[in-house]
Amino acid sequence: MRALRRRKCPVDYSLCNQTVTVYHWDGAATYTRTVIHGAFLDFKKTENVDKTGSSEVNSFLLVIPGADVPVAVGDKVLLGEGPEVNSREEWAALIPVKVPGLVVVRYVDPKYWNGAVVHTEAGG
């Protein structure tokens, strides 16, 4: 019997057509801003109603195709091209309550195909 093996990744990245800005702080004094073209950022709101009241939960999914992992836990991601961040005060002012479209990464999950990273999923 012949073994069939796919030659290319079975995932279609045609929806990865958005621009996002990833902000990273190294914990000391370096703030990095990376603009990524060809990403997918999706927001989701879930409402739960029970006898004690209702609650809302906001979450997101970020997909970045490519072999590198350009995002880490704790990074801030903004939909579109965002401004530069050069100081601790600017970093502290960059919060989701004040900046529409900004999210904070809670998990990073690289996805593999044939032993190599093909895209990175991040969310929170």
pLDDT for residue 112? 92
Rg of the chain, C-alpha, whole Å: 18
Q: What is the mean pLDDT of the chain?
A: 89
pLDDT for residue 4? 60
What pLDDT, in 10s, does the model give residues 53-79?
Answer: 777 778 999 999 999 999 999 999 999
Percentage of the chain exceeding pLDDT 90: 64
pLDDT for residue 7? 67
The stretches in the chain having pLDDT less than 50 are: none
Which residues have C-beta within 8 Å of that of residue 76, sequence separation ≥ 6? 22, 23, 94, 102, 103, 104, 105
Backbone angles phi, psi at 90, to 5 degrees: -65, -40
pTM assigned to the model: 0.84
Q: Nearest CA to 17 among 75, 63, 66, 76?
A: 63
pLDDT for residue 6? 60
In angstroms, the CA 20 to CA 37 distance is: 7
